[in-house]
A and B are shown apart, each in its own frame.
Chain A
């Protein structure tokens, strides 16, 4: 298993009730997993815990056999080698596309950085936009730059927090297909968080259905969606 979450418990600081209690979950290498759930179900928080942006109260997280946190250790987010694409992309507004992508490339020399940046712009089809600032880009273009930036340092795991929610529906379909293609091509392990059933169906190798911080079901997309049809349609009406 590539990512192993064991008995994870987490509280938000203002709440008495834990969001997760003894949550255990695994992700396989090279697999595209989708966490599907309503807003407030805890799916984004789970990504933040894996990235090291939140501190759990108990339990452990392992990535590629290495302990990220357990009862004694806590690896800082910058040391985890995990990429995260934020819901509103969080592109640094004071940097160009080029600078944004090169930002995470700390261990390379100038030439290598340039080459890697160009490679990634080619992957996301944004070769002509290197010198633009984020505010000069459309939503879909920002999304692609955010993906390129997260992938640039070659993370072992990449996570997406509602990546399509800020795009119009036509663009959603297009970007979704592109993204799926890129992920398949690079073979990178990835975790998606979404509330959209269609996204989950089309992009996931596996779906994890989450509600109130608990895993309701998991498995192949068609099976999970079919089995939980009633629950899902109730939730989304």
Chain B
């Protein structure tokens, strides 16, 4: 009886839409799960026997060290930026997000280009100073090199989430710690770290999933991981069964990590208990401390952004007259078009599921919010295969329908761009969702409740109150998703319609053909669009009423 009434109190169009979207998002993964238990073949036995251990060790090594370093760098940068004022403070505040604009695969080939035998460092040493250094000292095409690349271009995930948490967290906690006689370092260890644990874990889990998903860096550096193995099984051997089994194994590891994340985050929900939110006031630094913090910011910004950016500029200068053409404008249009549509869809779906999930309080809502994260935990290549299977089977139905009406049967859906966009939604929903969910967490439910006792329904409340209170989170989520789609590689490589290239897939094509200089122009466009959106995001967050 209670259950029926409880369901009735919660059943509305929000619940219905959430169910429909969640089912759609689950479908590709389910298709893969179903086929995971198919009989194994010779290839898989071979992979299991001789190669699997290597994939596991490489993937886990990459993930652990990247996770560790991104936390160290991301959290310390976030704390230093929020709590202290140094010269060029405003510049670093958003400048340290900028590396997010450089996709790791672009960073990888750029650094390789800088450090290889014909690169700027070696040639300068040879030609200007007559010094010959063994190339092995400059080799970054190995696991430590990949960890460096991932850390430099992914730490902003940890930095952004932790920083916005620290800044918007009622500063009274930190001020109180100071008043209670704690120095800066102890405040950081005893107050800042524990209260921002949920934010840090959220940031680093994005980094980890990003590393598992990566195909560009490891392929370019020749490191065997799960994703290169999946590509090899699928494209190299045409063996979907092995690809699915590899993906299933990877999914198992990822699920373990997600459970771990849940355990570490615990039941803690840090949300404001008052409607008065005061931002943290940064403190002026002096003397050697100022110098130390400033050098940290400068070196981080140089390594993660300025150096590769300047190198790319030089290559752009070398090649722009060959590259820039009408075909190139098409490339830009394609990329922006799919990214914009994908992001809008994701934000709408994320808003619906997040709002339902937070208002339903019980386990049902939690289940939905977990489903949305699923896509992000599955590597892009695997989603692509799942989506492809789904659309091909839908097309069979469509063909029957066409024949029914006496029309020419064709593959409609699986050759269309809608398949690619659908796959983006599955893949990146989590990015938009996390941002919106944390926006909701921050404002709590009290305003919604106030609105409802004043006679507004859930839907009216959503448009008049909820959505306005999380404007920043919505804009933030949109921009993160947009940039992610723009940079996306493995999924797009598989699902792009015939003769349809995006900036990312074209760049990768150039780089894999060792035409690094030609790749620079499209890389630069990706970086500039991403950087612009990041700048815009930063402005929106700045202006958000506190």
Contacts and interface: CB of A to CB of B under 8 A. Distances in A.
Binding between chains A and B: yes
Interface of A: 13, 51-53, 55, 57-58, 69, 71-74, 76-84, 86, 88-94, 103-104, 106, 134-135, 149-150, 152-153, 166
A83 B454 CA distance: 7
Main secondary structure on B side of the interface with A: helix
Contacts of B2: 57-58
Nearest to A53: B449
A149 B455 CA distance: 12
Given A88-B446, A94-B545, A103 B5 contact: no
Contacts of B446: 86, 88, 90
B353 to A, nearest CB: 20
Contact of A153 (B274, B454, B457, B545): B454
Contact of B275 (A72, A78, A80, A93): A93
Nearest to B3: A57
Closest 4 CB pairs of A and B: A104-B454, A90-B450, A77-B452, A74-B9
B536 interface: no
A52 to B, nearest CB: 8
Given A88-B446, A90-B275, A135-B276, A103 B1 contact: no
Query: What's the interface size class on B, roughly?
Result: 20 to 34
A93 to B, nearest CB: 6
Main secondary structure of the interface of A (DSSP, over half): loop
Contacts of B274: 88, 166
A145 to B, nearest CB: 12
Given A13-B361, A53-B449, A76-B457, 9 more contacts: A53-B453, A72-B5, A77-B449, A80-B453, A86-B450, A92-B469, A103-B454, A134-B275, A152-B454
Contacts of A78: 452-457
Interface of B: 1-2, 5-6, 8-9, 273-276, 361-362, 446-447, 449-457, 464-465, 468-469, 545
Contacts of A58: 2
Contact of B447 (A80, A83, A92, A166): A92
Contacts of A104: 454-456
Given A71-B1, A153-B454, A88 B361 contact: no
A55 B5 contact: yes
Nearest to B5: A74
Given A13-B361, A76-B457, A93-B469, A53 B9 contact: no
Contacts of B451: 92, 103
Nearest to B468: A94
Contacts of A57: 2
A71 B5 contact: yes
Given A88-B273, A88-B446, A51 B468 contact: no
B268 to A, nearest CB: 13
A82 B453 contact: yes
Contacts of A90: 275, 446-447, 449-450
Contacts of A74: 5, 8-9
28 contacts: A51-B453, A52-B452, A53-B449, A53-B453, A55-B9, A58-B2, A71-B5, A73-B5, A74-B8, A76-B9, A76-B452, A77-B449, A78-B455, A81-B455, A83-B453, A83-B454, A84-B450, A86-B446, A86-B450, A89-B275, A90-B275, A90-B449, A93-B469, A103-B464, A104-B456, A135-B545, A150-B453, A150-B454
A88 B275 contact: yes
Contacts of B453: 51, 53, 77-78, 80, 82-84, 150
Contacts of A89: 275
A78 B11 CA distance: 15
Contacts of B465: 92
A149 B454 contact: yes
A135 B278 CA distance: 10
Nearest to A73: B5
Nearest to A48: B449
A106 B450 contact: no
A152 B450 CA distance: 13
Contacts of B452: 52-53, 76-78
Nearest to B453: A84
Contacts of A92: 447, 450-451, 465, 469
A80 B9 CA distance: 14
Contacts of B5: 55, 69, 71-74
Contacts of B273: 88
A94 B469 contact: yes
Looking at B5, B8, B465, B469, the one whose CB has the most chain A CB atoms below 10 A away is B5
A112 to B, nearest CB: 15
A86 B5 CA distance: 26
B365 to A, nearest CB: 11
Contacts of A152: 454
A103 B447 CA distance: 12
Contacts of B6: 55
A78 B456 CA distance: 5
A51 B8 CA distance: 17
B298 to A, nearest CB: 37
A170 B2 CA distance: 46
A150 B450 CA distance: 9
Nearest to B276: A135
Nearest to A80: B453
A90 B447 CA distance: 6
A22 to B, nearest CB: 15
Contacts of B464: 103
A142 to B, nearest CB: 8
Nearest to B456: A78
Contacts of B275: 88-91, 93, 134
Q: Which one of B2, B6, B457 has the highest number of Cβ atoms from chain A below 10 Å of its Cβ?
A: B2
Contacts of A94: 468-469, 545
Contacts of B457: 76, 78
A94 B543 CA distance: 13
B467 to A, nearest CB: 10
A107 B273 CA distance: 32
A83 to B, nearest CB: 6
A120 B524 CA distance: 59
Contacts of B362: 13
Contacts of A91: 275
Contacts of A84: 449-450, 453
A153 B455 contact: yes
A40 to B, nearest CB: 16
A99 to B, nearest CB: 10
Contacts of B468: 94
Nearest to A146: B450
A226 B454 CA distance: 38
Given A13-B361, A78-B457, A86 B469 contact: no
A124 B376 CA distance: 52
Contacts of A73: 5
Contacts of B456: 78, 103-104, 106
A174 to B, nearest CB: 21
Contacts of A55: 5-6, 9
Q: Considering residues B6, B8, B450, B451, which has the most beta carbons from chain A within 10 angstroms of its beta carbon? A: B450
